[in-house]
């Protein structure tokens, strides 16, 4: 008889480490004895039912193009003025364009056409920059409902239109469908090859409403359906 193998020595340096993750618990079962049950929040994010979802907003645009234009104009104007001021300090005469600009500003009256035009252009540019700063932009994206406040998701309008178009083509009698998605409404135009127009319109409206709810949009648009008889 051979002796039983002795159990391996336990070395703390080679002790296995367990991952710091909790095993999934069964719904309705408390995590630890003595603790109350934690109700599982519903996960339905459709437009018809809130399901604990949070409304989100459109993502803010970086406004790279307007920022680059404004920075370029300011850089060129400030650079030219700085170079001319340094030249004047060095004993050289001022540039012709700066002398002409100073003379025009000193001699032209306030009600001059060019003065009013310049002021109107400057005011329009300033108003445009204020609007860009206060609006998020990204109008081509539709915000979706989010299960948590820190999560944000958006859907492209073309993608939403493609999904709605695929759903519309499943309706019996629809030969061709055109979908345009806007912020507050969806325009659907369908060519009907057979069946009654009113029946097709009712079925198409119901299908598009259901598909719109599946998209889980934060602000579901209104569905507007128009049908017509297909003619070759």
Distance (Å, whole) CA 53 – CA 145:
6
Residue 15 lies in a domain: no
Position 219 in a domain: yes
What is the pTM for the complete model shown?
Answer: 0.56
Domain membership of residue 219 as a residue range: 156-229
Q: Residue 190 falls within a domain, yes or no?
A: yes
Looking at residue 9, what is its pLDDT? 43
pLDDT tens-digit readout, 192-207:
998 899 999 999 999 9
Q: Is residue 121 part of a domain?
A: no
d(CA 197, CA 202): 9
Domain count, the chain: 1
pLDDT of residue 5: 47
For 228, residues 6+ apart whose C-beta sits below 8 A from its C-beta are 189, 190, 191, 192, 197
CATH of the domain at 177: 3.30.70.1350
In this structure, is residue 164 part of a structural domain?
yes
Of 72 and 136, the one with more pLDDT? 72
Flag whether 65 is in a domain. no
Residue 142 in domain: no
Q: What is the pLDDT of residues 133-153, one digit of tens each?
A: 888 777 788 888 877 777 777
CB 175 within 8 A of CB 192: yes
Is 185 a domain residue? Answer: yes
């Amino acid at each position: 008889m051979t002796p039983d193998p002795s159990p391996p020595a336990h070395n703390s340096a080679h002790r296995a480490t367990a991952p710091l993750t909790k095993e999934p618990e069964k719904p309705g079962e408390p995590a630890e004895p003595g603790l109350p049950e934690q109700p599982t929040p519903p996960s339905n994010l459709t437009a018809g039912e809130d399901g604990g979802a949070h409304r989100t907003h459109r993502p803010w645009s970086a406004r790279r193009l307007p920022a680059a234009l404004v920075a370029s104009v300011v850089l060129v104007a400030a650079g030219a003025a700085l170079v001319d001021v340094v030249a004047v300090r060095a004993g050289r005469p001022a540039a012709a364009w700066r002398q002409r600009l100073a003379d025009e500003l000193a001699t032209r009256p306030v009600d001059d056409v060019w003065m009013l035009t310049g002021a109107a252009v400057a005011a329009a540019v300033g108003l445009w920059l204020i609007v860009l700063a206060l609006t998020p932009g990204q109008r081509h994206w539709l915000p979706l409902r989010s299960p948590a406040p820190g999560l944000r998701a958006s859907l492209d309008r073309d993608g939403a239109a493609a999904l709605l178009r695929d759903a519309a083509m499943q309706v019996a009698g629809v030969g061709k469908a055109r979908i345009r998605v806007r912020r507050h409404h969806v325009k659907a135009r369908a060519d009907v090859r057979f069946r009654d127009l009113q029946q097709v319109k009712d079925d198409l409206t119901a299908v598009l409403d259901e598909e719109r709810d599946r998209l889980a949009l934060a602000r579901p648009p209104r569905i507007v359906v128009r049908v017509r008889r297909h003619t070759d």
